[in-house]
Structure 1
Amino acid sequence: MPLTPKQAAFCAEYIIDLDATKATIRAGYSERTAGQQGYNLLQREDVKAEVQRLMTERAERTKVTADEVINELAAIMRAKVSEIVGYEPGMTVTDGDVSVKVERFFNWIADCINGVQDFATTYQDYLDVNSFIDTVLFMEFVGDLDGRHNNRLFATHDGTRWSATVYDLDRTFQTGISGSATPGFGIWGLVLANLRDECNARYAELRNNGILSLKTIFDLATALDRKIVDD
């Protein structure tokens, strides 16, 4: 049975940025259930086949290799600061500006944890959602207890929306501690509780693409083991 117009549209949108939730919305599905719908679509063999066909077709059409993409991204990252959009020569940021924006973010987190603000209706004003979802999944994937309970790294380019990334992975794979990575802690607990559908959909993407796999776990563990030396 051929794909429905919406399913075909989802496939076409998905290969743009590999974001199932956004692709689902752009394809015309309900925004309210986009996370789960995207996950469900990616479980279908006919959808996966169409996605692969479109990606192969695009690769053939553009003749762009992964190495070429990486080299281009590296060139962009090496660009001079003066070439970055939004930068103006002599631009300065005062300590007061920084303090206000940092306090705005952390006060919001505290308010959400304490029930003063509603995370579900305000998070898009504060978070780069994709980076927080990816960080949560990574911490769960490698058992990063230290990152969940202690070390965190946030960054922002505009002082309004913040991104998250991992930092100081000294207890990766739960080394040096017993137990399991417990959900429900601080900002990560809020993300898991309120964006579970989006987390599930993103996890499905990463599994389907082979990014999260047994081989990945083995390679990460092996690389970590090689960095450990006897005292």
Structure 2
Amino acid sequence: MARRILVLEHMDHATPDAGLAHLRHRGAQAQVVQAWRGEALPALDGVDGMLVMGGPQMVTDIAEQPWMQAEIALMRRALERGLPMMCICLGAQMLAHALGATVAPDPEGRIAWRFHPLRALPAAGNPIPDGLTVLSGNFQGFSTPRGAERLATTDGPWANQAFRIGPALATQFHPEVTRPILDLWQAELAPHVHKPGASTVAQQDADFARFDPALKAWYRAELDRRFGLI
């Protein structure tokens, strides 16, 4: 029977991101919900896992975002049920918030809009390989929640790059970005390219060509493991 994966999206793309495309390739039943557009969140009965994606929204605006409050409540219920979750960027920040951690902008005014290497931290069965070079596109970051295990760090803003708690994995970075999505983001984020923590478009292009194949290989394998797709 096909695995049913609930995918919470927070932005529109002309083409599926790499994670959604991989779920479909593996034959999973990917139920995409955009609560930020007013779509109703389903019950978790029959759901085998959740993929909670990134987006331009800010957790610090949660008081004015009822849909975000509802998603965080759903994520708490998923944790209580022991459902596997993969939470990316905004998704990771929402999970951190759900667990009582702090989500905030960098106090020095930096952003993260670049490729950068990770340092894996000592943790049994750490799913983050040391030296994995990843893409970040962040204006806020999280502290590691109490009870969670910090998995990876990096230089620059937001040293907390990944944590896990139970069957949930949260990453500050973006493994799902395809070349068309990167093109879109480069256009949308053009006003921020000169801010501290951002690299040039030319550098991003070169880094995408160099580092993205390994990042995608890791991401697809992690989705397979986390959601039991193989």
TM-score calculated relative to the size of structure 2: 0.26
Could you say which structure has the larger radius of gyration? 1
TM-score calculated relative to the size of structure 1: 0.26
Report which of the two has the higher share of helix: 1
Report which of the two has the higher share of strand: 2
